[in-house]
Structure 1
């Protein structure tokens, strides 16, 4: 009686052993093949970690700046063309009665006559000597509270105060851009800028502002002084800038129009900050979508590298595959061996890439003095992404290897 034919079996242990032997046969090629996956998974972990870290930073900065800023616009002309300026002269004094306000003040860009220049010499008095700064410099009338609400950082000098506003002093605070343009580098010589023929003593130079950076290119003068020299602001040209305590912005925005104009609160339009949860969600989703696209491109490049190298390995090992088939190996055994090799390369690249991505996030955070934020799900998913990349990349080469006929392979 003929004994039954035993089917050939390949255990998982043997599959892993054969796959490891195939990888170690050419270690240099294996390292270069896994490099694409390392870069892809490393980018995946780094961009998600940096996105989470930046989102945290943006959220914190939003809470400290944007969430404490309220802007009030003059819309009186929309209701009555003869209403005049909507902000009263004692706006700052009235706002001191509103709880939750740290600094507040009215500001607007002064409308100068055509040809009026801002320079270190009066207009027409020293053009040949280069004393004029040109007519492109903006002159902003701002009460002391408005200047403080900009959250300025002084380079030199000081800001003008309530006394300068009350007594209509001819003092000015320069943004760093204007000071550099006029060549004013020190206040020790008590420099003076001329707005047309009007001299203003420079009280301070602002190095930076946290709100409205366009004012770094402006000359700031007291509101009362500007009204005395050039008249009140035009319709809808003035605005009120308010720096509030954290969490009080929306309440302040609802109270300010009534506090300033109880007779016509509709003349003022308060603009509160947006909801921080919506802003953070939008920023996070936008950054994540962009960086995930870049990480996906890196993973595709890694997958193409693994597929190409595995396919070359199949062609090089055609004789070996034919011998294994002749000795009883079935097509699915050959398919499993090559698929395991590509999956192992992908998993190895995923593990190394995960470590490099975490080091990148921590290193950037240390350099920038940030708090690194890496979600545990990202760390867990990254090696799996490498494994999946290797599996997908090895499907076609493994299928080609499984279809090789033993007789044809042994003839080569």
Structure 2
């Protein structure tokens, strides 16, 4: 008998060596089970998607609701402070004319403005008795008052650099009602009111200002016009300061010495709005709620994934036995089912994200809230689906890979 040649031995060894599968081959095998069992794969992914969609919804809707609540609280002046002289001082304390500019130099301050009481009297016309007091205050106003108060114009325009030097006024909502001024309409003559025996033209009416009810009962005159027409001395009586919320207490502590360094104790600064405390409590409460709801939803989805994958792998022992009989080794069997588990989890996770986002956007839009989809929830949902899918597929795939072909086929 002739001894075998090295070439023939190499051929024989190559024939018996297990075939190495590339990553693409493994993915193809994992997708094979999904493609051939489409209904089962769809139902398996459905359980995952419901869990992920639930997590997106229970985090997205409260996040949008919280954002709407925080916007409403911000509109109430959570970041605004009022600086004014201590009342009932003899002689009266006068803030410096540039007090607002001095406050603006504080680092966390984002905006300032000022008004001043001109002590003028206002009437609807010159035919009204001088003793007929309307209970309105005539204030000299800076041009940047509206953003400082989160205020807006209901009709007409606010004071501008083009008209602040002329006898023009803007009325608060209550002042317009008491003076009998109707909303201004384009193309119609602007009404006039009588202030200190001078006619002033009404160019705008403000919406209600929740931050400063005193502005609602005021008649606002340009700073320069108040000097020339009403003999205003230029000293503000109230300075409005807006600052970053996380530094509002620090700004409050340095404001007196900043706007009136000679006698800081003669200046009072309003304390931060109660709405700021409510806003911070709302942030903390909603954050805890997010964590609890997301955890419950992910746990439900994870149990569904684990149950589906365990049953899927255990029911396919005949396929495992057949592949082992055809030469597939344990690693290939294990990788095939792990890949299928990951694919199913990924498909379910993606479907759940889409469903959750659509449901959240639809509900939030109906409620007219800002749309907030927490990115962390989306990432955690996909990551959690993959992790749970891998975890659920590890044990049954390892157990199946250890079966011999005869055992696998006999137990099928």
Paired residues of 1:53 and 1:373 also in contact (CA < 8 A): yes
Which of these two proteins has the greater Rg computed from alpha carbons?
2
SS of match in other structure, 1:272: coil
Runs of 4+ residues deviating >4 angstroms: 68-72, 86-89, 97-103, 242-256, 278-286, 375-382
- Distance, in Å, in 1 between the alignment partners of 2:398 and 2:284 is 39
Alignment of 1:3-402 (within 5 A): 3-4=12-13, 5-50=16-61, 52-67=63-78, 246-247=242-243, 271-273=271-273, 283-284=282-283, 286-374=285-373, 379=378, 382-402=381-401
SS of match in other structure, 2:78: helix
2:188 counterpart residue number: none
Judging changes above 3 Å, is the alpha-carbon distance between structure 1 residues 57 and 270 closer, same or farther for their aligned structure 2 residues? same
- Distance, in Å, in 1 between the alignment partners of 2:239 and 2:366 is 31
Paired residues of 1:42 and 1:357 also in contact (CA < 8 A): yes
Judging changes above 3 Å, is the alpha-carbon distance between structure 1 residues 41 and 325 closer, same or farther for their aligned structure 2 residues? same
- Distance, in Å, in 2 between the alignment partners of 1:244 and 1:36 is 55
- Distance, in Å, in 1 between the alignment partners of 2:278 and 2:239 is 19
Paired residues of 1:63 and 1:246 also in contact (CA < 8 A): no
Paired residues of 1:319 and 1:410 also in contact (CA < 8 A): yes
- Distance, in Å, in 1 between the alignment partners of 2:251 and 2:19 is 78
Paired residues of 2:81 and 2:269 also in contact (CA < 8 A): no
Note the C-alpha offset of 1:367: 1.0
Judging changes above 3 Å, is the alpha-carbon distance between structure 1 residues 39 and 313 closer, same or farther for their aligned structure 2 residues? closer
Note the C-alpha offset of 1:349: 0.9
Note the C-alpha offset of 1:362: 1.7
1:109 counterpart residue number: none
Judging changes above 3 Å, is the alpha-carbon distance between structure 1 residues 255 and 17 closer, same or farther for their aligned structure 2 residues? closer
Note the C-alpha offset of 1:393: 2.2
SS of match in other structure, 2:346: helix
Paired residues of 2:80 and 2:243 also in contact (CA < 8 A): no
- Distance, in Å, in 2 between the alignment partners of 1:380 and 1:306 is 17
Q: Which runs of 5+ in 2 are unaligned?
A: 101-111, 116-136, 138-148, 152-172, 179-208, 212-237, 257-262
SS of match in other structure, 1:390: helix
Q: What value does the CA root-mean-square deviation take over the aligned residues?
A: 5.8
Paired residues of 2:81 and 2:241 also in contact (CA < 8 A): no
Deviations 1:140-178 (A, max 9, x none): xxxx9xxxx9x9xxxxxx999xx9xxxxxxxxxxxxxxx
Q: Which runs of 5+ in 1 are unaligned?
A: 73-85, 104-143, 152-157, 164-208, 212-241, 257-262
Paired residues of 1:311 and 1:397 also in contact (CA < 8 A): yes
Paired residues of 2:56 and 2:377 also in contact (CA < 8 A): yes
